[in-house]
Chain A
Amino acid sequence: GAVVSQHPSWVICKSGTSVKIECRSLDFQATTMFWYRQFPKQSLMLMATSNEGSKATYEQGVEKDKFLINHASLTLSTLTVTSAHPEDSSFYICSARELGDWQFFGPGTRLTVL
């Protein structure tokens, strides 16, 4: 199947700093990428959907100024958590979808904000 990678796989940062997470589709072109967040022992929550070259569409309740999403190319999307706080600590998972194909998930990035 198609491969989606995320970098870094885990990150620890201080409160108030910004963290960038990359999501790459390694062997296919992803017209759409999704960002999910998972709290411990809970399901994934869709944060935003981004189409290459367009602004991301955020789900209700997700602060677009805090979670900046960029999908500048067909193989890369980035999520930047700005001015991170401890409550932003979570597991962030991206997925990528090629037009008409399945959605493939990345391995996730664990963010810990101290």
Chain B
Amino acid sequence: GEDVEQSLFLSVREGDSSVINCTYTDSSSTYLYWYKQEPGAGLQLLTYIFSNMDMKQDQRLTVLLNKKDKHLSLRIADTQTGDSAIYFCAETNTGNQFYFGTGTSLTVIP
């Protein structure tokens, strides 16, 4: 399968911005996603970006895609304690099979 990699942990102070990074290997990816998983819960789709886009902003979330470097990032502005969770990036080229990263555990320090 394709490789999708993320750093495992990130800690930020409340009110600061968080940036979660993801790299992938599939050059034919068409959709890239960010999911949030709170403890004991399923995945929640946060946002997505098409591969022909460079940036997408949705309220406090900004997704940047560098297709040349196969690098995806999620920026959370004004991070709150409720943002503490595990964040997964995922990619697909067909919409049938998703490849997930290992997840980044975000801890927000009050």
Contact = CB atoms under 8 A, between A and B. Distances in A.
Q: Do A and B bind each other?
A: yes
Interface of A: 1, 6, 32, 34, 41-44, 46, 49, 93, 97, 100, 102-108, 110
A41 B35 CA distance: 15
A22 to B, nearest CB: 14
B98 A93 contact: no
B101 A43 contact: yes
Given A1-B45, A46-B97, A105-B43, 13 more contacts: A6-B42, A41-B103, A42-B103, A43-B102, A43-B103, A46-B98, A49-B96, A97-B95, A102-B45, A104-B45, A107-B42, A108-B40, A108-B41
Interface residues of B, number: 17
Contacts of A93: 42-43
Contacts, number: 41
B100 interface: yes
B88 interface: yes
